[in-house]
Homo-oligomer: A and B are copies of this chain.
Amino acid sequence: MRSTLTSWLQEQPLVECLRLQLPRPSLEDNTGDLDRLGRAVKLKGFTPLQFNPTRIGEFSRQIRREDFHVTAVLGRGDRHWQVIDVLPGDSEHHNLGFAVDLGTSQVAFYLIDLEQRQLLAQTSIANPQISYGEDILTRILFARQKENLKTLQDLLIEAFNATMRTMLAERNLSAAHVYSIAIAGNTTMSHFLLALDPTNICKEPYIPVANRFPFYHARDLGLMVHPEALVYVFPNVGSYFGGDLIAGILNSGLHRSEEVSILVDVGTNAEVVLGNQDWLIACAGAAGPALEGGVVERGMMAAPGAIDRVRIDPATLEPSYHVLGEQKPVGICGSGLIDLVAEMFSAGILTIQGKINTRLGSHRIIETPDGPAYAVAFAQETGDGRDLCVSEIDIGIFLKSKAAMYTILTVIINKVGLSFSDLKRFFVAGTFGNYIDPAMAIRIGMIPDLPVETYQGLGNTAGHGAAMLLLDRSLLQDIDRVCNQVTYIELNVNMELMNEFRGALFLPHTDPRLFPSVQIPESN
């Protein structure tokens, strides 16, 4: 993240604090106080300029009190600049902003110094709406009642305020110096934040209340920073293509490159964007749950206690693993599952159909109520004193997810008449992108058989993209362009798709020519 920030050194932030010594009035120059400020600001290129009418009395008193030596805090709006505040000219001011990735499960906050171009702090909290439903659909149903929609909004606003307050307090910074907040969320989360009715998002023809949101001020939403702080909510392209992905595109630079690249964000859905500076095509599909660890019995998020790395000795069939947070394992996260399935396959424990070979005579291969399973950790090693097994059923579910992922990638690349080898970069967003080992994912046929250096994990692209906007207002134009350029394709379930999917259910694929680098174990 830090390196991302410094690469934007020449860029101009969304909010600027301008120190001004205004020429004093005279009979020869009898411009009004406020017009005098406006003139000085416009001369520096901040035009057109808007004043909030309810603040101009205060601003002009400040100008007089400070004897025409003031700091103007200017925020970039949709098509104009607005005067956020007029402060004494001499005092030290910060120019702070928050970038927020508003996810369905997690909300990540980045506190940025826009003047020093520094990331001051970052933190992540669980989305407090989870108490009203783990998944989006439950929350949408709950929000049908207007009071409930307000409840969901209030939960978010309170969580925003509490988190921002703590982050600022830890660094002795004042909320009054926070002049900008950029928020990237999926379409539904953005609707919840703004208390916009999400009902039609999940009903054909899937229409959000708004794709592009006007700039808000902090006071409009009850955010406890400077009341006039700009609040920018990233636009959506549709119900299934949210602002988080727009921010992700910004972060990847996909839209500024001559070469064709792909960006994959694995969340609840797998969201895929393919393109370059001239065109962008996107689609999404339900590939995520198993990869995120949500469906497999012992699956979990990449959090302390999760096994994120697995190796299996092909001779002994004994595993070794790494646990996040240096503690006893309690579950296995997406990257751990990928490793596990890849290693089970290479060691001959799994067939190309994804069946466990029960005739291998290993004490790791056990019979459970869910059928045969592989014990990654026995009860005495685990955090909860239970065997940590992954069953054939779990693997079946997981293979559906990996097949869905590969199918989506195949469909989108075919759609534009390219092949995977045309991709110069393959960006993988999200926590998942940070943990996944591309070599392993290739071995199971989840992602195309490209040189591993093609793959690049980007981390929280939504949060980083939002932070980039705070530091570089020219990205507002990029966002406009991206929104206009993206063609979103619906994955209609047809025969071609089903055939693709069925082929991809195998390890690595029914057509091994697609994965020349993958060695098929002899046992198959």
Chain A interface residues (CB < 8 Å from chain B): 25-27, 30-35, 48, 50-54, 56-57, 60-61, 64, 78-80, 194-197, 200, 204-217, 220, 236, 238-239, 490
Contacts and interface: CB of A to CB of B under 8 A. Distances in A.
Contact of A220 (B53, B79, B80): B53
Given A48-B79, A53-B220, A216-B53, A210 B30 contact: no
A31 B211 contact: yes
Nearest to A35: B211
Chain A interface main SS type: loop
B205 A27 contact: yes
A57 B205 contact: no
A194 B32 contact: no
A214 B52 contact: yes
B194 A50 contact: no
24 contacts: A25-B200, A27-B206, A30-B238, A30-B239, A31-B207, A31-B211, A32-B208, A32-B211, A32-B212, A33-B207, A33-B209, A35-B212, A48-B78, A52-B214, A53-B213, A53-B214, A53-B215, A56-B194, A56-B209, A56-B213, A57-B197, A60-B209, A64-B197, A79-B79
Contact of A27 (B50, B236, B490): B490
A206 B60 contact: no
Contacts of A48: 78-79
Contacts of A236: 32
Given A54-B220, A220-B53, A33 B214 contact: no
A214 B30 contact: no
Q: How many copies does the complex hold?
A: 2
Nearest to A29: B205
A32 B205 contact: no
B214 A50 contact: yes
A360 to B, nearest CB: 50
Contact of A57 (B35, B194, B206, B208): B194
Contacts of A196: 56-57, 60
Contacts of A80: 79
Contact of A61 (B25, B197, B490): B197
A318 B33 CA distance: 57
A490 B196 CA distance: 56
Given A27-B490, A30-B239, A197-B61, A56 B210 contact: yes
A396 to B, nearest CB: 32
B197 A60 contact: yes
A209 B58 CA distance: 10
A377 to B, nearest CB: 47
A241 to B, nearest CB: 10
A33 B204 contact: no
B34 A209 contact: yes
A304 to B, nearest CB: 39
A242 to B, nearest CB: 12
A421 to B, nearest CB: 33
Contacts of A57: 194-197, 209
B206 A30 contact: yes
A205 B25 contact: yes
A197 B52 CA distance: 17
Contacts of A206: 27, 30
A465 B197 CA distance: 44
A116 B242 CA distance: 45
A205 B27 CA distance: 5
A210 B35 contact: yes
Nearest to A33: B209
Contact of A208 (B33, B52, B220, B238): B33
Nearest to A50: B214
Contacts of A211: 31-32, 35
A32 B216 contact: no
A238 to B, nearest CB: 6
B205 A26 contact: yes
A37 to B, nearest CB: 9
B207 A30 contact: yes
A50 B31 contact: no
A197 B59 CA distance: 11
Nearest to A240: B30
Contacts of A27: 204-206, 490
A199 B178 CA distance: 33
Nearest to A149: B57
B53 A209 contact: no
A78 B30 CA distance: 23
A82 to B, nearest CB: 10
A346 to B, nearest CB: 44
Nearest to A238: B30
